[in-house]
Amino acid sequence: MSTNRFAFFKGEIVPIADAKVSVMNHALNYGTGCFEGIRAYWNEADEQLYVFHLQAHYERLLRSCKVLQIRLPYSAEQLVETTLELLRREEFRSDVYIRPLAYKSFEGIGVRLHDISDDFTIWAIPFGKYIEKEAGLKVGISSWRRIDDNAIPARLKATGSYVNSALVKSEAMQNGFDEGIVLTQDGHVCEGSAENIYVVRNGVLYTPGITDNILEGITRHVIKQLATEELGLQVVERSIDRTELYAADEIFFCGTGVEVTPVVEVDHRAVGNGQIGPIFSQICSLYYAVTHGQDPKRREWCSPVYNS
Ligand code: PMP
């Protein structure tokens, strides 16, 4: 039985069982949609559900829509309100994952973006950890390469792009790793299958730049702010060589799903001394506090669902 009861579908909140598309749906056939993954965190002390960076996710969704020529009749602010309304109807009192999806809803044959209908849905489910590995991840460099901006732009969260991510993830897991790291077409470090990456060397944080075919991750930006503003660390965005991963003191992934997750081994080589590192540990505590609405300075990053 489904743990969620409702979806926003065709302009209204309906029972989840009524939120259905046809087998002829364009996005189902051709991957012509874009989506977001958003988390909300239950704060027991406040008896409140906080949605993390809700507006920023919708601003990114609208940018993805623009490239895919999906016209949504909503502003980011309206999408924020609709999401809060859906969550209130669900009455969740646990951590939640929220999935907005904008898609080409035309039913028929024809690969294109223009002059076909669009639709939009949101659904949400109770959700815990994306990867259960407290001791850190063992990862492998993927034999697949990241999609290029001139093929399928990776900075969009397009549904079709996730074929690339699924190839990376399954190859990694079927080879005995927890996750894969994918390289760009020119061989630089890009990201994990569904998460951005930070590499720590001599106390400095490095992460691939936005022209390295990464998804422009919201968590990546949050980590940059926390590392610089709270910990006084230097964060450098630049291309990263594969062998810098082997030479790193610490590596960690970040993303809405994985939150912040340490990497302890790359291609069978220990990262640093093979233990979870001190910079990761500090960032992890800060991230927990800001996502759960526990840092008064960063409260504006959290949208409360229930009226207090
Ligand atoms: N890269 C990819 C390919 C992803 O799917 C995600 C998850 N959305 C991320 C990075 C991290 O992005 P964010 O922090 O915005 O969730």
- Residues 238-257 pLDDT 10s: 999 999 999 999 999 999 99
Measure 195 CA to ligand 1 centroid, in angstroms. 5
Measure 223 CA to ligand 1 centroid, in angstroms. 13
284 close to 277: Cβ distance less than 8 angstroms? no
Measure 18 CA to ligand 1 centroid, in angstroms. 29
Measure 194 CA to ligand 1 centroid, in angstroms. 5
* Mutate which of 146, 148, 215 for ligand 1 pocket (most atoms within 8 A of beta carbon): 215
pLDDT tens, position by position, 188-220: 999 999 999 999 999 999 999 999 999 999 999
| Ligand 1 atom closest to 37 (CA) | 8
Q: Measured from the CB, is residue 256 less than 6 Å from ligand 1?
A: yes
pLDDT-based confidence at 76, cuts 50/70/90? very high
Other C-beta atoms lying within 10 Å of the C-beta of residue 230: 17
* Mutate which of 195, 290, 291 for ligand 1 pocket (most atoms within 8 A of beta carbon): 195
pLDDT-based confidence at 308, cuts 50/70/90? low
Cite the beta strand spans of the chain per DSSP E: 6-9, 12-15, 33-35, 38-43, 48-52, 96-104, 118-126, 137-145, 179-183, 189-192, 196-201, 204-207, 235-237, 250-255, 259-266, 269-270, 302-304
Token pair belonging to 66: 């623009």
pLDDT of residue 102 exceeding 90, the answer is yes
Residue whose tokens read 């930006």: 221
pLDDT of residue 282 exceeding 90, the answer is yes
Q: Measured from the CB, is residue 195 less than 6 Å from ligand 1?
A: yes
pLDDT-based confidence at 307, cuts 50/70/90? confident
Over range 251-268, report the average pLDDT: 98
According to CATH, the topology of domain 6-126 is: D-amino Acid Aminotransferase; Chain A, domain 1 (3.30.470)
* Predicted local confidence at residue 194, as pLDDT: 98
Tell me the whole-structure pTM to 2 decimals: 0.97
pLDDT of residue 306 exceeding 80, the answer is yes
On average, the pLDDT of the chain sits at 97
Over range 260-266, report the average pLDDT: 98
pLDDT of residue 1 exceeding 60, the answer is no
Q: Which residues contact 109 (CB under 8 A, 6 or more apart)?
A: none
Report phi then psi at 93, rounded to 5: -130, 50
Class of domain 137-291: alpha beta
- Rounded to an integer, what is the distance from CA 121 to the centroid of its chain? 18
How large a percentage of the chain has pLDDT more than 70? 99
DSSP 105-130: --BSS---STTS-EEEEEEEEE---S
* Mutate which of 196, 226, 290 for ligand 1 pocket (most atoms within 8 A of beta carbon): 196
From CA 123, how far away is CA 134, in angstroms rounded?
28
Token pair belonging to 239: 């291309």
Query: Nearest residue CA, atom 11 of ligand 1?
Result: 255
251 close to 266: Cβ distance less than 8 angstroms? yes
DSSP state, residue 1: -
Q: Measured from the CB, is residue 87 less than 6 Å from ligand 1?
A: no
pLDDT of residue 15 exceeding 90, the answer is yes
Query: Nearest residue CA, atom 10 of ligand 1?
Result: 195
Catalytic residue (one of 104, 138, 157, 169): 157
Residue 195 in 3-state DSSP?
coil
pLDDT of residue 10 exceeding 70, the answer is yes
pLDDT of residue 16 exceeding 70, the answer is yes
Q: Measured from the CB, is residue 33 less than 6 Å from ligand 1?
A: no
Domain coordinates in residue numbering, the chain = 6-126, 137-291
From CA 196, how far away is CA 188, in angstroms rounded?
13
Q: Measured from the CB, is residue 218 less than 6 Å from ligand 1?
A: yes
From CA 188, how far away is CA 184, in angstroms rounded?
5
Q: Is 224 a catalytic residue?
A: no
* Predicted local confidence at residue 129, as pLDDT: 82
* Predicted local confidence at residue 27, as pLDDT: 98
Measure 80 CA to ligand 1 centroid, in angstroms. 19
Measure 37 CA to ligand 1 centroid, in angstroms. 8
Of 274, 183, 257, the residue nearest 220 (C-alpha): 257
pLDDT tens, position by position, 109-135: 999 999 999 999 999 999 988 777 788
Q: Measured from the CB, is residue 184 less than 6 Å from ligand 1?
A: no
